Structures are given as structure tokens and as C-alpha cells.
């Protein structure tokens, strides 16, 4: 084990971390239910759902069976000129549970790539019809859409993670981040900057992209459904496509199957991923309308994208099993139960002076601090209390699996309070 970890430290690059990191990587031997088993045998409750994807927990019999059954048939086959049952059934399921206006979908490898495909759709929609002016995307400050180049170009350009690439990214337009809390009384002042940017630049804007209701890795911000509703109305008024990035929020995380349902709207293009396979495989999809595809294919054009592992049969089979497991479960009651416990348990953090705000929606709990977290100090403190939490910036947040028992969720919440309390005294 020691030799393996030494090799990892010397040769393997981890996300957003330096080569030869000073902080020790935690070695995971196995995972079952909501627990990760570490190298020394300690079991920790996973509060992160492995970056928000493992909604059913780990080592799930139904998903294991789906994978092994598909593996016996074929693990992969190219999607160019070929198709297969798992992809067709998954497409049927996704189109059935999303808005009825969405009639086409494109499978890809990851959430970032689903955003790339969405951007290509938007640009091709206009260019294929002869409009060469619409070459910009209107995005939001504090937004995050992925780490590939197109996706980076619509992430927050100032406080985001991609300033190293500023000089070579496509230049887009940014509106102020939504400032209206989820239950805030509505005022048109909240939408003024977005409206002004759209009015001034709509002739060059191909699409607007936004994370509905919850801005994820850009700051874990939760905002009013009325804001999203007005975004849809203004996109219609100025003849601009609307892309909704539900990679993080899709499949029940916010308390609705898709976060856009809170606003009673539908997108022109929808991106989904992460929890699509229950965290077993990397898979994503970009869904769109018949009108968008008609525009993309005007004058004999086709959508120009084609990943090697597009619609991978193994991933599609697991995704089918994951969606069946989700939809046949009391997921709404589970998420409501998580939200209720977090309101009480994480709400205790409001009593700490270091805490700026506690935000909770569905199975999302966020504690924003007045100062940046010390990850190297906090990580072992959380593990000592039997939980796995991965803070960033000035945020300590959790997105636990939907199946987490009450006792484990309370232990997770208690650990967050205790660690933040101890951090305040440092």
C-alpha cells in the first residue's frame, strides 16, 4: 500500500492539485452504501456523493447486475452507423422524464462535453441558417460549466478556476450572478443587468447558458425560480436560445427531478450528466427541441461532434438501471427528509461567528464562511469524525446520497458544526 501511494504521489496528477502534493491522498479500498473504507480500515460517511453523482450509494446490487449483464453482451461498440438497445431505451427514458418539447438527444462522455455539444448546437443553429453575427454566449458571473475549452469560456472569468487560459478562450458576455435568494420577494431590479446585456448584445448572442436554481462549483449559490422564469421570457423576447446546465442539479438533487421545474419553464437545450449513471460510469447527454435541430441541419448541415465512447453500451445499461431505481423509489420523500434534517442540524452553524450564511435546498447543504477554508487542516479533522467532506473556497458543503440514513446524516452534520467551530478558534 505504501509503495502504491508513493507512486501516486510521484507520478499521478489529481484535480486542482500540484504535482507531488504536500497533502496526503486518502486511499480508498472499497465503498458500500454511504461509506468509503480507507486503507487503515476506517469507514467514513461520504457527504459528497463522489462529486454529486452517487445518488443511490455504493455497490448497489441493481446497478452491479446491469453492468455485468451488459458486459456479457458487449462493453462497447461505436455509435457511428450503429445503434444498440441500451442507448435506445435510455433515450426513451430521458425524453419521457424531461419536458415534452425536448425530442432529440446526443450522448457524450461527461458533463463538460455535454456543454460543448450544447454550445455547438447553439452556434450551428444560427450559422447553418446564414446568421454569422451570433457568435457569443451570454453567461453569468459565479457560473461553472466544466473544464473543457468551450465550457471554460462560459465559466466565471474573474473568480473562476480558469484564469490561466484567459488569453486564449473564446470571449463571451457575462451578466451579474443572480442575487435573489430562493424564497425572496421578486423585484425586477434582480434581472436588470441581464436584461441590459441581452438588449445591448442580442444581435451577437447565440444563446444564454445558466445553471438553473443552483450555481454549483462557482459558489454553491441558490437563487429564485422567478429569476429563471424571467431569463426564459427575455430569451424569447430577444430571439436567443436558452441552454440549461443540469449536470449537477438533475435527477432529483434539488427536490425536483430537474431544477428548471421550479420555474415552470423549459430550455431549448438541456445538459445532464453526473448522477445519470448513479456514479458508476461517465456518461452525459444533451437534449434539444425539434426546432433547434431543424436550424442546426438547415442547408444540409449536421451537428459536428462524435466522441469515440458516445452512447457506450455499458454506461447506458447502468444509466437505465439507475433511472429505474430512482423513479421507482420514494426519492422525493428521501430528499425532503434530507432537507428537513439539514435545516435543523446545519442550521446550528448560524450561531458561529465565522459563518456568513447557511443555504439548503433538497439534498444540498452549504455553509459559507467569512474566510477561506484550510483544506489541509479540515480534511483530517473530518476523517477523525468519520466523514468525508471536501470544502473549497470559503464553502463547507455536502450533497449526500439520497439513501443516507438519518443517523449517518446527523453524524455528518454534527461533524461539520464541530469542525467549523474548531476552525473558528484557530
From the list 58, 144, 260, 397, the catalytic residue is 144
| Closest to 422 measured CA to CA, from 370, 382, 383 | 382
CA 246 to chain centre: 6
Q: Starting at the earlier edge strand, list the strands of the sheet with 28-32.
A: 28-32, 35-38, 43-46, 387-388
11, three cell numbers:
507520478
**Neighbouring residues of 347: CB distance < 8 A, sequence distance ≥ 6:** 358, 360
From the list 147, 245, 268, 397, the catalytic residue is 245
**Neighbouring residues of 208: CB distance < 8 A, sequence distance ≥ 6:** 137, 138, 139, 198, 231, 235, 240, 241, 242, 243
Burial of 34 (0-12, 13-18, 19+ CB in 10 A): buried
> How far is the C-alpha of 215 from the C-alpha of 359, rounded, in Å?
12
From the list 156, 190, 274, 280, the catalytic residue is 274
Q: Would residue 414 show up in a list of annotated catalytic residues for this protein?
A: no
Q: Would residue 16 show up in a list of annotated catalytic residues for this protein?
A: yes
Contact 133, 204 (CB under 8 A): yes
C-alpha distances in Å from residue 173, one per residue of 18, 33, 150, 196, 247? 31, 43, 13, 12, 22
Q: Would residue 425 show up in a list of annotated catalytic residues for this protein?
A: no
Q: Would residue 46 show up in a list of annotated catalytic residues for this protein?
A: no
Burial of 45 (0-12, 13-18, 19+ CB in 10 A): buried
Contact 24, 6 (CB under 8 A): no
**Neighbouring residues of 153: CB distance < 8 A, sequence distance ≥ 6:** 137, 169, 170, 171, 172
* Catalytically active residues, by annotation: 16, 144, 245, 274
Amino acid at each position: 500500500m505504501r509503495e502504491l501511494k508513493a507512486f501516486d504521489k510521484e507520478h499521478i496528477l489529481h484535480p486542482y492539485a500540484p504535482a507531488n502534493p504536500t497533502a496526503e491522498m486518502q486511499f480508498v479500498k472499497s465503498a458500500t452504501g454511504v461509506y468509503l473504507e480507507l486503507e487503515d480500515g476506517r469507514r467514513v460517511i461520504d457527504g459528497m456523493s463522489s462529486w454529486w453523482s452517487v445518488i443511490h450509494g455504493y455497490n448497489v446490487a441493481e446497478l452491479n447486475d446491469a453492468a455485468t449483464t451488459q458486459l456479457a453482451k458487449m462493453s462497447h461498440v461505436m455509435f457511428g452507423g450503429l445503434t444498440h438497445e441500451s442507448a435506445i431505451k435510455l433515450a426513451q427514458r430521458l425524453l419521457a422524464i424531461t419536458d415534452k418539447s425536448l425530442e432529440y438527444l446526443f450522448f457524450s462522455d461527461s458533463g463538460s462535453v455535454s456543454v460543448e455539444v450544447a454550445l455547438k448546437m447553439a452556434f450551428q443553429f444560427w450559422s447553418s441558417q446564414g446568421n454569422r453575427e451570433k457568435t457569443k454566449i451570454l453567461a453569468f458571473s459565479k457560473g461553472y460549466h466544466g473544464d473543457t475549452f468551450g465550457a471554460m469560456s462560459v465559466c466565471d472569468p474573474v473568480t473562476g478556476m480558469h484564469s490561466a487560459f484567459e488569453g486564449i478562450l473564446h470571449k463571451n458576455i457575462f451578466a451579474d450572478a443572480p442575487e435573489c435568494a430562493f424564497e425572496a420577494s421578486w423585484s425586477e431590479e434582480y434581472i436588470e443587468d441581464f436584461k441590459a446585456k441581452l438588449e445591448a448584445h442580442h444581435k451577437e448572442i447565440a444563446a444564454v447558458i445558466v445553471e438553473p436554481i443552483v450555481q454549483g462549483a462557482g459558489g454553491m449559490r441558490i437563487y429564485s425560480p422567478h429569476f429563471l422564469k424571467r431569463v426564459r421570457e427575455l430569451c424569447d423576447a430577444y430571439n436567443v436560445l436558452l441552454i440549461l446546465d443540469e449536470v449537477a442539479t438533475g435527477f432529483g438533487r434539488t427536490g425536483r427531478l430537474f431544477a428548471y421545474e421550479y420555474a415552470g419553464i423549459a430550455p431549448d437545450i438541456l445538459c445532464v450528466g453526473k448522477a445519470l449513471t448513479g456514479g458508476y460510469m461517465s456518461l452525459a447527454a444533451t437534449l434539444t427541441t425539434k426546432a433547434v435541430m431543424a436550424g442546426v441541419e438547415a442547408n444540409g448541415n449536421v451537428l459536428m461532434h462524435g466522441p469515440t465512447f458516445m452512447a457506450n453500451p455499458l454506461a447506458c445499461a447502468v444509466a437505465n438501471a439507475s433511472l429505474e431505481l430512482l423513479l421507482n423509489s420514494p426519492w422525493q420523500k428521501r430528499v425532503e427528509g434530507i432537507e428537513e434534517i439539514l435545516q435543523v442540524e446545519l442550521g446550528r452553524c448560524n450561531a458561529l461567528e465565522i459563518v456568513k450564511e447557511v443555504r439548503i435546498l433538497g439534498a444540498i447543504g452549504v455553509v459559507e464562511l467569512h474566510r477561506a477554508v484550510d483544506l489541509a487542516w479540515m480534511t483530517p479533522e473530518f476523517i477523525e469524525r468519520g466523514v468525508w467532506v471536501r470544502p473549497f473556497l470559503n464553502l463547507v458543503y455536502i450533497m449526500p446520497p439520497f439513501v443516507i440514513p438519518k443517523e449517518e446524516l446527523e453524524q455528518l452534520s454534527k461533524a461539520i458544526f464541530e469542525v467549523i467551530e474548531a476552525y473558528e478558534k484557530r
